[in-house]
A and B are shown apart, each in its own frame.
Chain A
Amino acid sequence: DGGITQSPKYLFRKEGQNVTLSCEQNLNHDAMYWYRQDPGQGLRLIYYSQIVNDFQKGDIAEGYSVSREKKESFPLTVTSAQKNPTAFYLCASSIAGTTDTQYFGPGTRLTVL
């Protein structure tokens, strides 16, 4: 089945450690996105990428980093510089050019202790 996978579903880390969240898609979509969702909050854009080897900062990029070495993969690293990293992280993808429909992965719940 085509879709977006995120792993792991739950992730625990100690404060001060960097952690990388995985996102893979087999939809052949050009564009990929990372969002953060806090309880009772809407979606906030962290980073997005329209094409391999290129990405742009979203609204809350500070303390995060990404890479886009392959079309199907867009990992997100939460660095120790992120002041409040505990949140629900969502990866999404869409067809670049039309950018008219976005699909989401199941999410990763990150808890920093």
Chain B
Amino acid sequence: GQQLNQSPQSMFIQEGEDVSMNCTSSSIFNTWLWYKQDPGEGPVLLIALYKAGELTSNGRLTAQFGITRKDSFLNISASIPSDVGIYFCAGPQTDSWGKFQFGAGTQVVVTP
């Protein structure tokens, strides 16, 4: 199946700093999804991207659908303590209808 490589694996940042993470694939995706998961909870959809080149914001979050369709980026500006969690990228597989591929996640830790 299609693989999603997500980096970095973890980030330790100070409150107020900006955060940036990305996902790359060797094959194209037609949709990119970004989720946040708090400990013991289900992932919550943050941003969905449907078009190459698309740049979408949700509050302090901004995500972009790469022009090549093989990558996507998520930025968090002016981080706050509640930004702590694991962020996943995902996308519906184009070689296996109905299935989704997920990145391994980026653990974000915010220190005051």
Contact = CB atoms under 8 A, between A and B. Distances in A.
Interface of A: 4, 6, 31, 33, 42-43, 45, 48, 50, 56, 58, 88, 90, 94, 96, 99-107, 109
Q: Sort A-B residue pairs by CB-CB distance and give the 8 closest, nearest first.
A: A104-B42, A100-B31, A107-B42, A106-B42, A99-B92, A42-B104, A43-B102, A104-B43
B99 A45 contact: yes
A100 B30 contact: yes
Given A42-B104, A50-B98, A107 B31 contact: no
Interface of B: 30-31, 33, 35, 40-45, 48, 50, 88, 90, 92, 97-100, 102-105
A67 B54 CA distance: 38
With most chain A CB atoms within 10 A of its CB, the pick from B42, B48, B98, B103 is: B42
13 contacts: A4-B42, A42-B102, A43-B88, A43-B102, A90-B42, A100-B30, A101-B33, A102-B45, A102-B100, A103-B45, A104-B42, A106-B42, A107-B42
A100 B91 CA distance: 7
B31 A90 contact: no
A96 B97 CA distance: 9
Given A31-B98, A56-B98, A96-B98, A102 B33 contact: yes
Contacts of A56: 98
B79 to A, nearest CB: 22
Given A90-B43, A103-B45, 20 more contacts: A42-B102, A42-B104, A43-B88, A43-B102, A50-B98, A58-B99, A88-B40, A99-B97, A99-B100, A100-B31, A100-B92, A102-B33, A102-B45, A102-B92, A102-B100, A104-B44, A104-B45, A106-B42, A107-B40, A109-B40
